Structure formats: C-alpha cells, structure tokens
Amino acid sequence: MDVIVILLLICGLVFFTGGAVGILRFPDFYTRLHPAGKMDTLGSFLMVLAVALYNIHDFSWAALLTSLKILLIVLFIFILNPTATHAIVDAGFRAGMRPWTKEDRGK
Amino acid sequence: MKEHPAEKRSSQPVNAFGDRPGNPSEHHIPRPIFSRIMTFIALLCLWVILSGRFDPFHLSLGVISCALVSILSGDLLFPESRTGGLFRHTMQVINYAPWLLYQVILANLHVLYLVFHPRMMDLIDPRIIRFDSKLKKEISLVTFANSITLTPGTITMYVSVEGAFQVHAIDKASGEPLPGEMERRIARAFEDE
C-alpha cells in the first residue's frame, strides 16, 4: 500500500514539475497554458488519489468518509481546471493576443 | 363571439407541468418531478459525504435543505433527460470516464516529453484549428470542450452555441484527430440517438 502511495506521489510530483518547467519554457501565452491546464489536472489527480489511499490505510468509516471527500476534490478539479483554462484562453483571445507560430522563431 | 377562457384552455389541454397528456401510459412520472427526485438524491448523497454525521438532527437538516433546493431549482441538474434514458445515460457517462482518463494520461506524457525536450522550439508548431461539431445539446458541447482541453496538445479557445469550435493545437499531429473519435464517444454518452 505504501509503495503505491509513494509511486503515485512521485508521479504527481513529476507532472507538477513538468507543468512548472513547461510554463517557463514555452514561447507564448497560449502554449504555456498547455502544460498549465493539463499537467496540473493529472498531477493533482495522482497526488490527491495518493492522499485518499493513504488515509484509508487504517480502515474506519470516518476515514472512508474523509477519503470520499478528498475524491470529491478530484472530481471538481477535473471539471474546473479545463474550464478555468478555457476562460484564460478566451480572455487572451479577446484581448487580441496573437498566437505564436513557427515563423516567429528567432525574432 | 368571445370564447370563454376555460373552454379555450380545455380545447388544448396542458397539465400543470406543461406536458401534453397524450398517452398516459408513456408518462408514469412527470419529468419535472422525476428530475427533482434525482436532484434530491444526488444532493443528499453529497450532504451525507460532506457532513459525516448520522444523528437525526444533522440528517433532518440535510433532508430539509436538500428538499428546499430541489423544489426551487430541481430542473437545473437534469434539464432534459427523459425518465427512461437517464439510467442509460449515466451508465454511458461512467463508460466514457475511463477512456477520458486514458487520453488524459497520454496527453500528459506527450506534453511532458515536449517540456523536457532540449530542442522543444523545433518540435512545437502551434496552430489554430476550426471545425464544426455535430453535437447539439449544451451539456455535450461543454463536455467536448473540456475534454479537448484535457487531451493531447489541444486547448479549446472558443465554442459557439451552434457547435463551432476553435482549438489551439500545440503541434500539427495533435490537432489532426479532431473531432473524430472523442466526438463520437461523447455523442454516444450524452446525445439522444
């Protein structure tokens, strides 16, 4: 059980790190949202799953309830994160930001 | 030649829920009542999970507040679902979720590869794709847009009510499979055939 929890936590950390590095490395606003929107979702999914699993380590009904609450967080993150990303992209699009294309390299 | 209002109403009878009576065997439970009951059950499950207390005081508080909410706004959660189709839809949504999760993991590995690639600037080739979706219901359009954002290399930029999509793709390959399989799966899960 502990092995699974640690594995999930490490995977989640890798995705979160990837998300952070991606935000720094990608060239413009729109491409930066790719790692931000996706990696955070899966990273938080894995880590929250790990926490929920660790919580029912010593099984009791109270712990199960807490784990269910934690899993509800995942559900809402899965709905909220793409929606928030979309809202940010839409705001950028309306503000007239031009997407970076391959021709912009070296400028 | 004034027609009596009661007669006018009776010439085209409409019951309290706005349904034509039609064949009574088709409507065992009127739709608004059914969706209210479903909303009530869903809210009560949420209440029990979140409160975590099972004594009569807290449970009755939950029942009262859930009943109030489902009476006032019971048609928000299940707006169009038919009495018979709801169970089938639920099963298909549950069926859709694992596939989406698999796609999300694929997407993340793809972006992770791009992020840590030393020549990342050569690999990415952002572009905007426009296409029209065949989906009609709002809930399926919203799910489709969110799923696009979560899956490989694509972010939804704009959706219109008619189903016109603008998608930002991070490279050429990731934009090509759209709308494709995902739209078919969502159509199967949310649309009435």
Structural domain boundaries in chain B: 5-73, 85-190
Cα A101 to Cα A34: distance, rounded to the nearest angstrom: 15
Whether cis (ω within 30° of 0) applies to the bond prior to B179 is yes
DSSP E strand boundaries for chain B: 127-132, 154-159, 164-169
For residue B115, the chain A residues in CB contact (below 8 A) are 18-19, 21-22, 25-26, 35
- Number of Cβ pairs closer than 8 Å across A and B? 101
Q: What's the mean pLDDT in B13-30?
A: 46
Task: Give B-chain residues touching A30 at CB under 8 angstroms.
Answer: 126, 155, 157, 168
Q: Which of B158, B135, B32, B24 is nearest to A93 (CA)?
A: B158
Contacts of B124 in chain A (CB under 8 A): 26-27, 31
Closest CA to B168 of A8, A34, A50: A34
Q: Do A14 and B112 touch (CB under 8 A)?
A: yes
Nearest-Cα residue of chain B relative to residue A46: B105
Structure tokens at B131: 């296409």
Weakest-pLDDT range from A19-33, A46-60, B79-93: B79-93
User: Is A31 in Cβ contact with B170 (below 8 Å)?
Assistant: yes
Measured in whole angstroms, the distance separating CA B9 from the mean position of its chain's CA atoms is 36
| Residue B44 clears pLDDT 70, i.e. is over it | yes
pLDDT surpassing 50 at residue B43: yes
For residue B151, give how far its alpha carbon lies from the nearest alpha carbon of chain A (Å): 8
Torsion, Cα of B150, B153, B155, B159 (10° steps): -100
| Residue A100 · residue B169 · CB < 8 Å | no
pTM: 0.67
- Name the strand (E) or helix (H) holding A15: helix A2-25
Instruction: Look over chain B and give the mean of its residue pLDDT values, rounded to a whole number.
Output: 69
> Which pLDDT belongs to residue B24?
45
On whether any CB of chain B is under 8 Å from the CB of A29, the answer is: no
pLDDT in tens, B61-70: 888 888 888 8
Q: What is the pLDDT of residue A44?
A: 86
Where does the pLDDT of residue B84 fall: very low under 50, low under 70, confident under 90, or very high at 90 and above? low
Q: Residue B181 has which token pair?
A: 């399989």
* Nearest chain B CA: its distance from A1 CA (Å): 22
Q: How confident is the model at residue A84 (pLDDT cuts 50, 70, 90)?
A: confident
